[in-house]
């Protein structure tokens, strides 16, 4: 049995019965108290019960299943062939994030953790599997491929965790999950975490979990009137003018600390670089970064050495940033639930927060869904003009001067002012000083871009024949939006073993789309057709061309019928 943690460790975690090395690791990582889901889930998991946990993203689910898993790994007798535990997650970014967390928690135990996911060459993953891994963090498609190919043994697995189960089912992984569970021993411990528990999740639980402990952590209740403390605004702007609009909005809002959310990791890097050139203190955060890089970024952001964090949704999960004043959506979130989660990061502790969304003209209808999800109106604002921006910058210059006057300690500058006052009018001297300060704080050459006005549609009117139509071939996914759809030709079909979940998984993992953004899928013997939003067709094609389907490169292009 593990010894109890010492008093020097984290008291809240030591009371749960975890191995003392885990508790000490948590203390080193800065954890203070277990979250509600951790406090409720860890004890029954240590007792080897199956468990169903329902909690929203960002509540600490990863530690809730990882700590008991590592505790059991450290205290098991003997070692079987193959991994001790399998954790299934929906995306490669989440696989990397969870793997990094499990590695940090279990470093003192010598636990070996391996993430496996599509979009990466098989070679490195196969070599890592040959060396052996205690814990596999994998996406369902790649995990099943390796298991079916005899490269990943599942017959010695003692724990299976299904993380973000509802998202995995939305992405078409139900059959893969069933197959993986059938390959593992019947006496395993099975843990299922999900933000929602629809009937199909309940059906999986009935088939594969034994007398599970059920835990539901309700969303933190909002203090009366707190929702009104988040000011929600949207700007309608053509895509080509989004960067200029964002820069102007940032100048006008002057946030003390803000997160800008993007859909894809390459967009994060591009936007961070562009804003940095414009003089903003910017850091980027996405799933392609190492844990050391992520830690450095968050240390700078939390220490207020940077003002803007540009991030993807998955990379920002679980981050608790107390001083955040603004959340900015560079694109309209694909899922209303994602929007709700994002804006919940501001307006805390009675402070006013600001949520800003940049929407393209065709996305105006989607704002209505966001309003329904939050129960609040999103105000449509006019993009600041060049005159608005200059007036705001002059106001900030005036505020800086006022602050300097109040602070005092100006005597060192008296001689210079008196000398100039003997030669020029004192008002001219003051205006020249203001001009120099203002020019030093401004980028006037970047203010010249004219951003066209966009007609604002009435979002209250009933939708008729112009409403978006779902793609053919399967029903639209819950929560997804359908605008103009483009069709992509993929040069592999049934003969190559291609299934709908293979295509959905590749698109969501490689191109950064959500399952809800993928439309109709038609699979023929030698090719497949997939519908995605028209404005994302080119980026999806580029992403799929750089990866493999079923272990081989395939032809990917725009379907000629839709060209």
The alpha carbon of residue 70 and the mean position of all alpha carbons in its chain are separated, in whole angstroms, by 25
Total residue count of the chain as it appears in this document: 563
Check if the beta carbon of residue 343 is closer than 8 Å to that of residue 353: yes
Domains of the chain, by residue range, sit at 11-216, 227-384, 395-428, 485-562
Helix and strand numbers (H, E) in the chain are 21, 18
Residue 176, burial from CB neighbour count under 10 angstroms (0-12, 13-18, 19+): buried
Residue 552, burial from CB neighbour count under 10 angstroms (0-12, 13-18, 19+): exposed
Superfamily of domain 227-384 in the CATH hierarchy = P-loop containing nucleotide triphosphate hydrolases (3.40.50.300)
Q: What whole-number percentage of the chain has pLDDT above 90?
A: 23
Decide: helix, strand or coil at residue 485: strand
**Region at 211 (left for phi over 0; alpha for psi -120 to 50; beta for the rest):** left
In tens, the pLDDT along 22-78 reads: 988 887 776 767 888 899 999 999 999 999 998 866 577 899 999 999 999 988 876
In tens, the pLDDT along 318-341 reads: 565 666 788 999 988 867 777 887
Asked if the domains at 227-384 and 485-562 fall in one CATH topology, the answer is: no
Q: How far apart are CA 276 and CA 443, in angstroms?
A: 13
Check if the beta carbon of residue 208 is closer than 8 Å to that of residue 189: no
Q: How far apart are CA 231 and CA 249, in angstroms?
A: 14
Domain 485-562 part of CATH 3.30.70.330: yes
Ranges in the chain, pLDDT < 70: 1-11, 30, 32, 56-58, 78-80, 218-228, 314-323, 334, 347-351, 403, 438, 440-450, 452-483, 515-516, 561-563
Decide: helix, strand or coil at residue 116: strand
The H or E element spanning position 114 is: strand 113-116
CATH architecture observed for domain 11-216: 3-Layer(aba) Sandwich (3.40)
Q: What is the pLDDT of residue 455?
A: 61
Q: How far apart are CA 53 and CA 163, in angstroms?
A: 10
């Amino acid at each position: 049995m593990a010894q109890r943690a010492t008093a020097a460790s984290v008291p809240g975690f030591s009371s749960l019965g975890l191995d003392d090395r885990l508790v000490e690791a948590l203390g080193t990582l800065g954890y203070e108290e277990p979250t509600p889901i951790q406090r409720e889930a860890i004890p029954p998991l240590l007792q080897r019960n199956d468990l169903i946990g329902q909690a929203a993203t960002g509540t600490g689910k990863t530690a809730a299943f990882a700590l008991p898993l590592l505790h059991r790994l450290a205290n098991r007798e003997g070692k079987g062939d193959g991994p001790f535990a399998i954790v299934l997650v929906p995306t490669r970014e989440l696989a990397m994030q969870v793997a990094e967390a499990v590695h940090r928690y279990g470093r003192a135990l010598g636990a070996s953790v391996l993430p496996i996911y599509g979009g990466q060459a098989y070679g490195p993953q196969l070599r890592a599997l040959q060396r052996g891994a205690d814990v596999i963090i994998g996406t369902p498609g790649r995990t099943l491929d390796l298991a079916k190919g005899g490269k990943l043994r599942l017959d010695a697995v003692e724990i299976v965790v299904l993380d973000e189960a509802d998202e995995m089912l939305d992405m078409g992984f139900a059959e893969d999950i069933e197959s993986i569970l059938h390959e593992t021993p019947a006496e395993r411990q099975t843990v299922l975490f999900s933000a929602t528990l629809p009937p199909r999740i309940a059906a999986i639980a009935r088939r594969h979990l034994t007398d599970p402990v059920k835990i539901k952590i309700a969303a933190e209740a909002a203090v009366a009137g707190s929702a009104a403390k988040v000011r929600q605004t949207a700007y309608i702007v053509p895509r080509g003018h989004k960067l200029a609009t964002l820069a102007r909005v940032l100048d006008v809002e002057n946030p003390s600390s803000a997160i800008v959310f993007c859909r894809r990791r390459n967009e994060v890097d591009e936007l961070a670089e562009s804003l940095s050139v414009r003089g903003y203190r910017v850091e980027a955060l996405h799933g392609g970064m190492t844990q050391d890089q992520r830690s450095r970024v968050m240390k700078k952001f939390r220490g207020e050495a940077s003002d803007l964090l540009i991030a993807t949704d998955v990379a920002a999960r679980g981050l608790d940033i107390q001083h955040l004043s603004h959340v900015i959506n560079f694109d309209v979130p694909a899922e209303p639930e994602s929007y709700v989660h994002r804006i919940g990061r501001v307006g805390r502790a009675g402070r006013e927060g600001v949520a800003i969304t940049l929407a393209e003209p065709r996305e105006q209808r989607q704002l209505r869904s966001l309003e329904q999800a939050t129960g609040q109106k999103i105000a449509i604002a006019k993009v600041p003009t060049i005159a608005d921006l200059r007036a705001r910058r002059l106001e900030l210059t005036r505020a800086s001067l006022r602050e300097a006057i109040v602070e005092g300690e100006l005597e060192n500058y008296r001689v210079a002012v008196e000398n100039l006052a003997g030669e020029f009018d004192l008002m001219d001297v003051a205006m020249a000083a203001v001009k120099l300060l203002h020019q030093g704080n401004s980028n006037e050459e970047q203010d010249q871009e004219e951003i066209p006005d966009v007609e604002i549609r009435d979002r209250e009117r009933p939708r008729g024949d112009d409403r978006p139509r779902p793609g053919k071939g399967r029903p639209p996914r819950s929560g997804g939006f359908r605008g103009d759809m483009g069709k992509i030709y993929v040069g592999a079909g049934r003969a190559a073993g291609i299934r709908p979940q293979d295509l959905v998984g590749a698109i969501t993992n490689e191109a950064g789309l959500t399952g809800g953004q993928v439309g109709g899928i038609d699979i023929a013997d030698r090719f497949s057709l997939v519908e995605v939003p028209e404005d994302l067709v080119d980026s999806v094609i580029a992403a799929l061309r750089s990866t493999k389907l079923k272990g081989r490169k395939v032809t990917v292009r725009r379907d000629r019928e839709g060209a």
